[in-house]
Amino acid sequence: MADELSELAAALPDGRVITDPDIVASYARDQTTAIVAPGRARCLVSARDTGEVAATLRWAAGHGVPVVPRGAGSGLAGGATAVDGCVIVSLARMNAITELDPVNEIAVVEAGVLNADVDRAAAEHGLMYPPDPSSYEISTIGGNLATNAGGLRCVKYGVTRDAVLGLEVVLAGGRVVRTGRRTVKGVAGYDLTSLLVGSEGTLGVITSATLRLRPRPAAPPATVAASFPSFGAAAHAVTAILRARLQPSLLELLDRATLRAIDDWKQLGFGDAEALLIAQDDSDDGGRRAGLMRDICAEHGALLADVSASEAESQQLLDIRRLSYHAIERLGATLVEDVCVPRSRLPDMIGCIERAAARHSVMIATVAHAGDGNLHPVFVFDRGLAEGDVPAPVWAAADEVFRAALDMGGTLTGEHGVGLIKRRWLALELGADSMDVHRAIKGALDPAGILNPGRGF
């Protein structure tokens, strides 16, 4: 192994190959720390450009070494967890915004650029980068691309795939290909860009992307906050808002367990509320539309419904939503899921989650990108268990939730990816023939199976 690593070190600038066990171990896991025990990687490559990634993959292909690509490690499905004997390729130092073209409304960025930094750079030109996962201040564009991340604004603006025009990708043998284009339209060849977005590093390592920007709203959004006596009542208000064609730019739900966790931490005084709905409208007619959403909430039994009085108040409400996972995490070890169902089935899915929690005596705290039907049930259990040792009732409750989502015409994952956690259920969603097609594509692009092995299927 020492000879092999010497060969890799010789192919890269000094300092790129890191073997210090403590440093390598710090890059060997993502945020699924209690669910997935990482393997022992042989080294870390801290790449600075596409050429260095290509050299690493050529070396890995020549020696049959698994490659695990990594951005910021903020993933929640085990997709960036090391496997034994792998080389971890970190793209965090590839963090340049190489071009921002306000006329054509595009940005070209390296994979290690933070999501929020793209949006801040776009804002200087009156533009925005719409996808905004809750981890937007720490997650990288490369990681967002790998999982097709969504976020709070995707109810109006779509997910990451909707904002990507083209990619630069290193394939398993070290070849560099460029997919897509700089134009909004284009149908030449297969849509390799869409194929690679959401592929979780199993088909290639994305090193750069051409992103589509949007005009930034002229005024701050109007924000509605409404508390409800039950999670189900809040869900019915969501479906009524959608039925009214009000097209909110944000529509988020928090359940009682989440509100209590935030309250215990920050003492915000949610009182007897069993659910909180936060909605926004960023259109020129936002004030009027927000008022209509408030009225709909009141008609559906809201305990309190109001429109924010200022931009600062709106931001405080969004901060509450972004606090949710960190508040729940304080309660114990967590398994964070993200099933998605047709929006009309949101109340049914919420009922299913509540029944699964009661039946298996498992604490489940749920937040939802309600406008997309995308729910994040967070299963909470004893932090004192051994790493990767998830209690059987938690898996049983998760199995019930996953199967219910599929029965409702939904999906196992709306934005976190399959990773290692959801592999056991993937065939239920895709079916045998589709799984064969997936394996054929994987075999064509990665015949030796070295790219992020074990993810997905």
Q: Is residue 402 over pLDDT 90?
A: yes
**pLDDT tens track for 21-31:** 999 999 999 98
Mean pLDDT of 82-108: 98
- Which run of H or of E encompasses 207? strand 205-212
Mean pLDDT of 447-451: 97
Residue 437 is predicted with a pLDDT of 96
Distance (Å, whole) CA 326 – CA 261: 9
- Which run of H or of E encompasses 400? helix 392-407
Residue 100 is predicted with a pLDDT of 98
Residue 181 is predicted with a pLDDT of 95
Mean pLDDT of 157-169: 97
- Which run of H or of E encompasses 367? strand 363-369
Q: Is residue 303 over pLDDT 70?
A: yes
As given in the structure block, the two tokens for residue 433 are: 């023939």
Mean pLDDT of 338-356: 95
Neighbours of 294 (CB within 10 A): 19
Q: How does DSSP classify residue 220?
A: P
Sorting pLDDT into bands at 50, 70 and 90, what band is 271?
A: confident
What average pLDDT is seen over the chain?
94
Mean pLDDT of 242-264: 94
Sorting pLDDT into bands at 50, 70 and 90, what band is 389?
A: confident
As given in the structure block, the two tokens for residue 99 are: 């071009």
C-beta of residue 71 within 8 angstroms of C-beta of residue 414: no
- Residue owning tokens 């070494």: 65
Exposed, middle or buried by CB within 10 Å (0-12, 13-18, 19+), for 132? buried
Residue of 349, 347, 361 lying closest to 401 (CA atoms) = 349
| 32-41, 96-105, 326-335, 392-401: least confident range | 32-41
| 14-18, 184-188, 382-386: least confident range | 382-386
Q: Is residue 63 over pLDDT 70?
A: yes
Instruction: Write down the H helix ranges in 203-285.
Output: 231-243, 256-266
| DSSP-assigned letters across all residues of 61-94 | HHHT--EEEESSS--SSSTT---TT-EEEE-TT-
Residue 157 is predicted with a pLDDT of 95
Residue 340 is predicted with a pLDDT of 97
**All domains of the chain in start order, with CATH:** 2-90 (3.30.43.10), 97-215 (3.30.465.10), 218-320 (3.30.70.3450)
Sorting pLDDT into bands at 50, 70 and 90, what band is 160?
A: very high
Q: Is residue 145 over pLDDT 70?
A: yes
User: Hey, is 383 helix, strand or coil?
Assistant: coil
Rounded to 5°, the CA angle 201-202-203 comes to: 95
Residue 1 is predicted with a pLDDT of 62
C-beta of residue 423 within 8 angstroms of C-beta of residue 414: no
Q: Which residues contact 434 (CB under 8 A, 6 or more apart)?
A: none
C-beta of residue 94 within 8 angstroms of C-beta of residue 47: yes
Residue 384 is predicted with a pLDDT of 78
* β-sheet with 164-170: strand ranges across: 97-101, 106-110, 205-212, 164-170, 176-180
| 1-5, 200-204, 224-228, 429-433: least confident range | 1-5
As given in the structure block, the two tokens for residue 77 are: 């499905």
Q: Is residue 309 over pLDDT 70?
A: yes
C-beta of residue 447 within 8 angstroms of C-beta of residue 172: yes
Neighbours of 49 (CB within 10 A): 15
| Most confident listed range (321-325, 398-402, 453-457) | 398-402
Neighbours of 268 (CB within 10 A): 13
Q: How many residues does the chain have?
A: 457
**pLDDT tens track for 96-129:** 999 999 999 999 999 999 999 999 999 999 999 9
